Every structure is written in structure tokens, then in C-alpha cells.
Amino acid sequence: MSLTQNILRALRINSCPPAAASSHNGSYSMKPGFAVNKRIALPLLGLAGAALLTRRSRMTWACHGSNNAHMVRRLQEESIIRDERLADAMLAVDRADYAPDIQDAYFDSPQLIGWGATISAPHMHAHVLGMLAQQLQPGSRVLDVGCGSGYLAAVFAQLVCRTSEEQQSEEQQCSAENGASAGEVTGVEHIPELVELGTANLQKSSLMQQLMRTGQLQVLQADGHWGHTARAPYDAIHVGAAAESIPQALIEQLAPGGRLVIPVGPSSEFQKLLVLDKAPDGEIIDSSDGLQVRYVPLIPRQDLAPSGK
């Protein structure tokens, strides 16, 4: 077992407390008023994306499950998932298909997937889904910047391509005859190996295979700062890495009534997880709740032309 895996195992506890701190993409987040032992945590952060919190706060890497259904139930029990639609979507996507180690698939912690990226902790995925719940409706268009393992793109596809209430089997394809109403999910990654990894993971599901064949679900290599204009505007945009500032292209590609969730700030410091809404008249409204996070940086790629142009 690697040093990284040993660190993550050492940080696990058995009960899931309220979400005072959250991990994401090899990083963690904290609500205002909570303290972190940076002397201990930050060196570990470089190894495993782990953090040790002081007695003034409590770890939330604890909604572990023995299987996918148990993990989702723990998230519901702690009110991290409050919407049954979101629970059903997470139930339909087995995290083990996207995690690098099947033995750790249902632990509530981030896991390294290679090339400096991780699959986020389940509780952080649940938080992001909750932030975007109103926009993740059947027929919506979603952009997932830094889609990594492909897990969240798969959950997005479950939500926008069909409702949980319909209880369709995984083999039933979302109707492509309805055009935009069929729903679309676009994932972008700047590392080609992660594009291949995410695509391979998604293809483990027959439903995702069908959605990729119809073009409703796709993973592309692109500089996330530029988004993907070909399928804009988007009802929901999720960014899984920290930008130094808000990319204007993502604002422009957001549909009226749409929402952008993005961490913003220097990679050497805590960032703010911004929640930005676009009003019908185009005004941008900051709906953030003050959550502080540590994300890996959103890396610009000068060699990649703006995607979709």
C-alpha cells in the first residue's frame, strides 16, 4: 500500500458529522470559524489531499459505506443529500466504476487517480449536486470543467437525461429525438490521459455508452478557461479546479437562469467556492455561502485552442 493510501486510511473515522469541512480534488474546504492545523495538514495535502483538523472543528470524511447504497444512505442521514432526485442519481452511478481502488470506493475521502488529479470525496460531490439541483433538470445542458474520473459527469447525465421518478432501466436510452430536451453533458479535461480515463470509466455503464453514441454525453480535451462554445449556453457549469479569476468565457456560456459553481483564488491559499447565477437580463448574482476550499489549480493550456470554435 502506498504512503498516500496509508495517510487516507489513517484519517478515516466511523461516524459522519455535519459538514464543517469538505475535501475536494485533493483538497479540503472549511466553513468560516473553523481552524486547521496547517503545520500538519498542508504537508500531507501535497501527498494525499488530506487534512488534519484541530479540536475546534470535526472531520467530515466519514460518510463511509460498505457499498454504494450504504454510502448514499449515510449522506442522506447527515442531510448532505436532501433531494431524493440527487440520491437516486448517485445510487444509479456506482462509485466503484470510477474510483482507482475498489476496496476504498465507498470511503468518504478523495482518491488519487493519476496526473495530479483525484476523484473527490462523496460528501463534496453531494454538496456540489445540491448547489446545482435546480438547474439539473431533464433536458438541461451541463458543462463539467475538469471532469477527471467522469463520476460527476455520469451523475449529471442521470439527472438531465431522465428523471429518477421514471425509474427507467439503465439500458433504456434517453430519447435523442427530442433534440435539446434530451439533455446534454459535456466534460472537458486538459490532460489527454484523463480524457481517456474518464471515457473508459463512463463506458462501463451501458446507459453512458448509449449517451456517448448519441452525443448527449462527451468528454473532450480542452482548456477549461474557455469552456466549450459548441453546446453553449449551459444551464449548469461546474468547475473542479481553482481559477485565479472567473473566466469570462464561462460567464458568457451560462444560460439565463443558469448557475456556475467555481472555486476562485490562488492555489497557494484558501479559495472561495463561488456560486454565481445569471438573471434573465444577464446580470450575474453572487449566491455564495462563504465556503472556503483548497482546490488544485485550473491550469491554462496555451497549446489548446478555445474548444468548440
Pick the CATH number of 3-293 from 3.40.50.150, 3.40.50.1220, 3.40.640.10, 2.70.150.10: 3.40.50.150
Task: Give residue-wise pLDDT tens across range 241-253.
Answer: 889 999 999 999 9
- For the chain, percent of residues with pLDDT exceeding 90: 58
Is 120 annotated in the active site?
yes
Residue 91: predicted pLDDT: 98
Output the CA torsion 67→70→74→80 (10° steps).
Answer: 80
| Alpha helices for the chain (secondary structure H) | 3-10, 38-48, 68-77, 84-92, 122-131, 151-161, 192-202, 206-214, 248-252
Amino acid identity, residue 291? L
118 grid coordinates: 483525484
Most confident option among 40-44, 55-59, 298-302: 298-302
Using pLDDT thresholds of 50, 70 and 90, give the confidence band for residue 300: confident
Calpha distance 125→155 (Å, rounded): 9
Mean pLDDT of 49-71: 59
Looking at the predicted structure, is the pLDDT value of residue 49 above 60? no
In the chain, where are the structural domains located?
Answer: 3-293
Using pLDDT thresholds of 50, 70 and 90, give the confidence band for residue 162: low
Catalytically annotated residue among 27, 57, 120, 205: 120
Question: Distance between alpha carbon 294 and the CA centroid of its chain, in Å?
Answer: 14
Task: Give residue-wise pLDDT tens across range 211-246.
Answer: 999 999 999 999 999 999 999 999 999 999 889 999
- What is the pTM for the complete model shown? 0.79
Cβ atoms 65, 74 nearer than 8 A: yes
Give, rounded to a whole angstrom, the gap between the first and last alpha carbons of the chain.
45
Average pLDDT, the chain: 79
Amino acid identity, residue 236? A
Calpha distance 205→29 (Å, rounded): 31
Output the CA torsion 121→122→124→128 (10° steps).
Answer: 140
Q: What one-character DSSP code corresponds to residue 273?
A: E
Other CB atoms within a 10 A radius of the CB of residue 21 amount to 24
Other CB atoms within a 10 A radius of the CB of residue 142 amount to 26
Mean pLDDT of 3-15: 42
